Structures are given as structure tokens and as C-alpha cells.
């Protein structure tokens, strides 16, 4: 996919790499360091994960998701960045019990939020699920239509996000600071209107100018430091073509290899599988199984049947979440549930390295493979139409993150409402996809590789 270059770029190697033996001299297990770290001042996050035996740090840098490979300095909690031209370091911080609680990088301190190696809390331990987002905000003001979006600098990786909050336009700069935009002037032209907005700071403020034709998207904004163009994924109405991944080789070949492969061995004991078909769960639960159609990130049919399943406890929790949403006027659209392991391998093998943050590694298995993960969206019970969210389903962009700050108040409110309902019932949102939720008991089920047509699922 051509646009994936926007989401993951390499960093020039201007200094010699450290000796290979440094990378092998591991003192701290990498899995003890994996997780999400957040700078409390700017709101920026770092995602550390283990990939092919290496510790990788991913972060948003302008319009890109940058991957940095870390090399441990022997007998310390310091790591050198392999790609850095200035021998930058990441230093981990521990509490009195020796647990990693934060890290220092680029002059900022990032506090650890979650760790991949830690088990999620059981249902009786959930004390602070996602908060209820409150009453719905008003719809986007007509004069703001087409103005929100993500804009990248023509030179470099600087990113500006124009968003709406509480009926006002904001500019979010690449440091994570939000500035209220006030209209200074507008000039009517033959087929467009030229607008000028500015922030209120006396020093270091922003001036933004652009032209807009009707409610069409604003494609370029001019600022006092240069031009910014709307990023391809940030088309306001969404574009399914922007999500297409160009497989690294033919899908037919990839499918044949995946069908012949064997899932990873696991040590039990595991609960007996008891998959429930979700179409029978409740009238407010509708199916929109994208992988049974070409309308998905591969642009090809992957599933043999348009069906969705979850393990019985997860299905019961999903039903409770639906009952939370119904009085608020929403039902749920199920995009995916249980996924045979071979499909996870198809996704992984077809996706270029630059997009693998959005797909599961078949060597570890997906929580979808265990019947304990669900991809879902909201629809309006009155209109039966899907609602507008901060991104499209399966969109490989920063807009997919559950903490993406852009878009409109109503889009973010719907996204947060879905998260509130699901996390209140024992699910946890996936860190890179607002639509993906894992059920708390996923570790208690084994990876399965049974195709849909061979399932003898229980009835709810």
C-alpha cells in the first residue's frame, strides 16, 4: 500500500551501529519492558514491543509512525537507538520493587501505562473502566465541515491536526499543544471562500489561511512557517481505497502456505472451547463481516462465510455491553470475532513490514484465534445507519488509535461511548485500534484453527 509510507518511516543511519554482541548481552527480559509509556505534559505515547527478539520503540513523529530498534548497554537499564545519528538513549526507571515504571527519552519522561507482559485484571478487579463520556455533544457546526483533519508539512515530518471541540476549532501542533482558532477574516471569491484564522498567543501563535469550495475538504493550509497538505488517510468522509495493502506476494500463494502451516504449540490447561454465534445474540447485534467481502484492507475475500463467533463468557459480556448502548440509541455492527489461525497468518504474510503494527504475529497467535476478541462499530437504531467515527474500520493510520485527539467532538464521543460500554463488561480496547476489544479471559482459551464451515458452535 503506497500510503503506508506515511505511517512508518525509517531514520537515516549516520553513525556506525553498535557491535552485535551488545544486542545479545541481555540483562533484562525485553517482555518486562514492553508496554505503553506516556508523556504526561504533551500526551505523546511510546509503544515498546518485542519483534523478532528485538525491542522496538514506535512513536508518532509528524505524519509518520517511526520504529526505532533498541540495543541494550550491558548491565544497565540504558538502551542505545540503533538508527540514531546522535547516540540517543532510552533509559528505564524502576520503583523500589524493581518494576519498570517510566522511561526517559528526548528530554522527556514517559510514564508506563500498561505492559504487555502483565495479565489484564479479572472481572472482580475492574475498578476503573473507561469513564462514561457524558451527554452527546452537539453536531459539527456547518461552517466547520471539511476543515478538520491531519495536515503534514511539505518539508519534514511536522504534523498539524485541525480538530473541533465544544463548538470551536483547535489547532494541535506536533508537540501536542492545543490552540483555539479564531476567525480573523474571510473573502468571498467566485467559487471559493478564503479564510484566515489565528490563535490568541502574543508570542509563538499560529496564523492559518486556506481556501474552501462549499463544504469540500480543505486540502492545503498555509501558516507563517510554511504549507501543510491534508494527509491521504485524512479525507473527512473516509476512503476505503486508502486502506488497501498491496500484498508482498500473491494472495493465492499466501493462502496456500497459511492453510498448510501449523499453529504454535501452547502449554495448557485451557478451557474447552464453547463458541457462540453472534447473529443470534440480540436484534441490536448486526453483522458486517468485512473479510467475507472485498471491502477490507486486502481488497479480497478471505473468509469462506460471513459469520462471527465468541466464546460463551465473552458473548455474554458483549450482550451486556449492547444493553448499555441500546437506551442511548445505538446497536453494534460486528466486523469480526473468532478468526481461524490460518487467517491471522494470511494477514501477517500479506502485510509489509511498515504495517505490521496493525496485524497480529501468527507466531504468538491472535486473541481473535482464541474466540476472545471482537471488532465492532456503532450504528444508529433510528436510522439503521453506521455512525461516523474518528477513522474507518481497519484503517492503518494514527486516526485508528483509541486516544487519537483529532476529528470532531461527536466522533470522539461515539468512540469513547463504545469503549465505556465494552470496558465496563470486562473487555479492553487494543492500543492501536479503537474498534478492537479483547475479553479478560483470553489467556484461558487455546488458539484454534477450525474453519467456519466446520464449526459446531453452541447456540445462545
What are the residue ranges of CATH 2.40.128.50 in the chain? 2-118
- Which sequence positions are flagged as catalytic? 433
Q: Are 42 and 61 in contact (CB under 8 A)?
A: no
Q: Does domain 243-454 have CATH number 3.40.190.80?
A: no
Q: Are 154 and 227 in contact (CB under 8 A)?
A: yes
The angle subtended at Cα 97 by Cα 93 and Cα 101, nearest 5°, is 30
State the Cα–Cα distance between residues 22 and 25, nearest whole angstrom.
Answer: 5
Q: Are 132 and 138 in contact (CB under 8 A)?
A: no
State the Cα–Cα distance between residues 201 and 71, nearest whole angstrom.
Answer: 42
Which residues is 220 bridged to in the sheet?
Answer: 229
State the Cα–Cα distance between residues 375 and 394, nearest whole angstrom.
Answer: 9
Task: Classify 2-118 by CATH class.
Answer: mainly beta
pLDDT in tens, the chain (460 residues): 333 333 333 333 222 332 333 333 334 577 788 888 888 777 777 888 776 677 888 776 544 457 788 888 877 888 888 876 666 789 998 887 778 889 998 888 988 875 333 333 333 333 336 889 989 998 899 999 999 999 999 877 789 999 999 999 999 998 889 999 999 999 999 899 999 999 987 667 899 999 999 989 999 999 999 999 999 888 765 544 456 778 878 899 999 999 999 999 999 899 999 999 999 899 999 999 999 999 888 889 999 999 999 999 999 999 999 999 999 999 999 999 999 999 999 999 998 887 787 888 999 999 999 999 999 999 999 999 999 999 999 888 899 999 999 999 999 999 999 999 999 999 999 988 999 999 999 999 999 999 999 986 444 3
Question: Half-sphere exposure of 295 toward its Cβ, with a 13 Å CA cutoff?
Answer: 11
What pLDDT does residue 25 have? 37
Is the alpha carbon torsion for 402, 404, 408, 413 positive or negative?
positive
SS3 316: helix
What are the residue ranges of CATH 3.30.1380.10 in the chain? 243-454
Number of helical H runs and strand E runs in the chain = 5, 24
State the Cα–Cα distance between residues 281 and 275, nearest whole angstrom.
Answer: 12
SS3 160: strand
- Residue 107: phi, psi to the nearest 5? 85, 5
b/e code 309-331 from CB counts within 10 Å (16+ = b): bbbbbbbbbbbebbebbbeeebb
Q: Which fold has domain 146-234?
A: Lipocalin (2.40.128)
State the Cα–Cα distance between residues 371 and 447, nearest whole angstrom.
Answer: 8
The two beta strands, 64-72 and 8-9, are: parallel
User: Which grid coordinates are listed for 260?
Assistant: 498448510
Q: Are 404 and 398 in contact (CB under 8 A)?
A: yes
Q: Are 273 and 456 in contact (CB under 8 A)?
A: no
The angle subtended at Cα 76 by Cα 74 and Cα 80, nearest 5°, is 70
State the Cα–Cα distance between residues 298 and 184, nearest whole angstrom.
Answer: 45
What stretches of 194-311 show up as alpha helix (H) in DSSP? 251-260
- Give which of 338, 336, 344, 337 is closest to 261, Cα–Cα: 344
State the Cα–Cα distance between residues 218 and 225, nearest whole angstrom.
Answer: 18
Q: Are 179 and 206 in contact (CB under 8 A)?
A: yes
State the Cα–Cα distance between residues 118 and 132, nearest whole angstrom.
Answer: 25
- Give which of 298, 294, 314, 315 is closest to 306, Cα–Cα: 294
State the Cα–Cα distance between residues 44 and 415, nearest whole angstrom.
Answer: 19
The angle subtended at Cα 88 by Cα 85 and Cα 92, nearest 5°, is 155
What pLDDT does residue 19 have? 32
Amino acid at each position: 500500500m503506497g500510503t503506508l509510507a506515511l505511517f512508518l518511516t525509517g531514520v537515516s543511519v549516520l553513525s556506525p551501529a553498535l557491535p552485535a554482541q551488545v544486542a545479545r548481552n541481555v540483562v533484562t527480559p525485553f517482555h518486562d519492558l514492553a508496554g505503553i509509556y506516556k508523556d504526561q505534559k504533551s500526551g505523546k505515547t511510546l509503544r515498546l514491543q518485542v519483534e523478532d527478539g528485538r525491542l522496538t520503540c514506535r512513536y508518532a513523529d509528524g505524519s509518520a509512525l517511526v520504529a526505532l530498534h533498541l540495543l541494550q548497554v550491558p548491565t544497565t537499564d540504558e538502551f542505545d537507538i540503533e538508527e540514531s545519528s546522535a547516540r540517543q538513549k532510552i533509559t528505564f526507571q524502576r520503583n523500589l520493587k524493581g518494576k519498570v515504571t517510566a522511561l526517559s527519552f528526548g528530554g522527556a519522561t514517559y510514564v508506563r501505562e500498561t505492559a504487555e507482559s502483565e495479565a489484564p485484571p479479572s472481572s472482580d478487579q475492574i475498578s476503573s473502566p473507561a469513564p462514561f463520556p457524558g451527554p452527546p455533544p452537539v453536531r459539527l457546526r456547518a461552517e466547520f465541515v471539511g476543515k478538520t483533519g491531519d495536515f503534514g508539512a511539505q518539508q519534514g515530518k511536522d504534523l498539524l491536526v485541525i480538530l473541533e471541540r465544544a463548538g470551536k476549532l483547535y489547532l494541535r501542533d506536533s508537540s501536542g499543544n492545543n490552540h483555539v482558532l479564531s476567525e480573523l477574516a474571510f473573502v468571498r471569491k467566485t467559487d471559493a471562500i478564503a479564510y484566515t484564522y489565528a490563535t490568541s498567543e502574543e508570542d509563538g501563535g499560529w496564523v492559518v489561511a486556506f481556501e474552501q469550495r462549499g463544504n469540500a475538504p480543505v486540502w492545503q493550509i498555509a501558516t507563517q512557517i510554511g504549507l501543510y497538505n491534508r494527509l491521504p488517510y485524512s479525507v473527512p468522509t473516509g476512503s476505503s481505497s486508502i486502506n488497501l495493502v498491496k500484498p508482498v506476494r500473491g494472495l493465492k500463494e499466501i493462502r496456500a502456505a497459511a492453510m498448510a502451516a501449523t499453529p504454535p504449540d501452547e502449554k495448557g490447561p485451557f478451557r474447552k472451547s464453547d463458541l457462540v454465534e453472534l447473529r443470534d445474540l440480540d436484534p441490536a447485534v448486526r453483522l458486517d463481516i468485512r473479510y467475507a467481502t472485498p471491502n477490507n484492507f486486502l481488497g479480497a475475500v478471505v473468509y469462506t462465510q460471513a459469520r462471527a463467533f465468541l466464546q460463551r463468557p465473552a458473548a455474554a459480556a458483549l450482550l451486556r455491553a449492547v444493553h448499555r448502548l441500546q437506551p442511548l440509541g445505538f446497536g453494534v455492527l460486528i466486523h469480526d470475532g473468532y478468526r481461524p489461525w490460518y487467517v491471522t497468518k494470511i494477514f501477517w504474510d500479506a502485510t509489509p513490514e511498515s504495517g505490521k503494527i496493525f496485524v497480529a504475529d501468527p507466531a504468538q497467535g491472535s486473541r481473535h484465534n482464541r474466540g476472545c476478541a471482537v471488532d465492532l462499530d456503532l450504528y444508529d437504531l433510528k436510522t439503521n445507519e453506521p455512525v461516523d467515527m474518528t477513522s474507518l474500520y481497519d484503517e492503518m493510520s494514527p486516526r485508528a488509535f483509541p486516544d487519537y485527539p483529532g476529528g470532531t467532538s461527536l466522533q470522539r464521543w461515539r468512540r469513547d461511548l463504545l469503549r465505556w460500554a465494552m470496558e465496563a463488561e470486562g473487555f479492553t480496547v487494543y492500543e492501536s485500534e479503537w474498534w478492537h476489544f479483547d475479553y479478560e479471559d483470553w489467556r484461558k482459551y487455546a488458539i484454534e484453527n477450525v474453519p467456519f464451515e466446520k464449526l459446531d458452535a453452541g447456540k445462545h
